[in-house]
A and B are shown apart, each in its own frame.
Chain A
Amino acid sequence: MRRAILAIVSTTAALVMILSFKTHGTAPVTTPPAAVSSTGTSSGSTTSSSSSTTASTSTGTKTVTGNAVDTQYGPVQVQVTVTNGKVTSATAVDYPQNSPRDQEINAYAIPTLNQEATQTGTANIDMVSGATYTSEGYIQSLQSALNKA
């Protein structure tokens, strides 16, 4: 039972981690976020092998919904809210809730997810150093996630 909770939490937390590496925070949080709302845009840039994008990093709140991930307990999809470059809340928008046991797990897992995601978001990094990736490896790299943030 406890293992089941942890499995869901770690799967979703890993997904949140990828989403939460916003390019860069520019100011301390001054205004509480409106949960699951979008009141500002961050750098809305996409990149490709031979094009440049000019954008602005910004303070403000933005909400990102991750792809649904199939876990052994059913699909899990997470939505995070980023304010001034930090994850300020996370919500599971799709998760297993068919059985009473699912509901019991989620009563514990969702608040934990929210707490873990918020802590992870404080990493708040601009660039990533690691062992040299290949062109293919780049696609799965944290730097690639940052460049899309």
Chain B
Amino acid sequence: MTTPMIEHPRTLHVEHSMGTVFTIDIRDGGAWAAAIADVCTWLHRVDRVFSTYRDDSEICRIQRGELAVADADPDVAVVLDECARLQRQTAGYFTAVYAAKLDPTGFVKGWAIERASAMLRAHGSRNHAVNGGGDVQAAGEAAPGQPWRIGITDPHGRARVRDVVSGRDFAVATSGVAERGAHIINPFSGVAATELASVTVVGPSLTIADVYATAAFAMGDNAVRWLQRQPAYDGLVVDADGHAHTTSGWTSAAA
């Protein structure tokens, strides 16, 4: 018994960078080695410039007073300006400067992934998804006529999918404690936020979705109320007891 085969092109690449793993999944036909090489060069460059774990990164050198922002990689000023803008927009719950320490890492990964997707578009790919450690920017469709389907892991059991979202040209970011423990500090209380298990934000830009997810996580019980006021973005919040709360625009695509 033979089932008819319908082949769809797919190029998959997995790259370790920034202490996590990036998955690049291209669903257009053709050869993508050069585009993937460009994206990987970009990801490693972002790590070298922005890592707070590398003593020789430009961020660490700026922190120590050895390098002026004006003399640094031009992207440093771009990132710090955007961080300042998003700090105001999130009522201070997202910040790249905490306890006199410069740490834009909460912004950089989502931004780097969104840029990676833009680079793939510039190389001619209209249908792809880039996933960096659990934050996804998706372009076009997974297959002709089929939007991307992104599963959201259950923070209380990471082999389980808690919900599924579906769409074209959209981003999904999740912040939570499931993988690396309580690491998101509420900048107003000075202690790690523990009211929630995870916050997932869906919207057009991964840079914004990622920052909103982190800020909302730090807000704790006010997360859904705040996300509800952000145009073009929706959220799924799973609290520490495992209960799910969503904004009114959240649309599940779970079967």
Contacts and interface: CB of A to CB of B under 8 A. Distances in A.
A17 B158 contact: no
Contacts of B131: 127-129, 143
A83 B23 CA distance: 25
Contacts of B25: 126-127
B8 interface: yes
A132 B151 contact: no
Contacts of A59: 3-6
Contact of A126 (B13, B135, B149, B198): B149
A24 B142 contact: yes
B64 interface: no
Contacts of B178: 130-131
B92 interface: no
In this complex, the interface size class of chain A, counting residues with CB under 8 Å from chain B, is 35 or more
Given A123-B151, A127-B138, A142-B161, A135 B21 contact: yes
A50 interface: yes
B164 A129 contact: no
A123 B255 contact: yes
A126 B215 CA distance: 27
Contact of A123 (B10, B138, B164, B198): B164
Interface stretch (A31-39, A90-98, A101-109): A31-39
Interface in B1-22: 1-16, 19-21
Given A129-B135, A133-B134, A58 B6 contact: yes
A137 B179 contact: yes
A99 interface: no
A72 interface: no
Given A14-B159, A60-B4, A123-B255, 10 more contacts: A24-B143, A24-B146, A31-B3, A43-B10, A52-B12, A57-B143, A128-B136, A128-B161, A129-B131, A143-B134
21 contacts: A14-B159, A23-B10, A24-B143, A37-B1, A56-B7, A56-B9, A57-B143, A59-B3, A123-B151, A123-B161, A124-B255, A125-B151, A125-B164, A126-B138, A127-B150, A127-B151, A130-B152, A132-B180, A133-B180, A135-B21, A147-B23
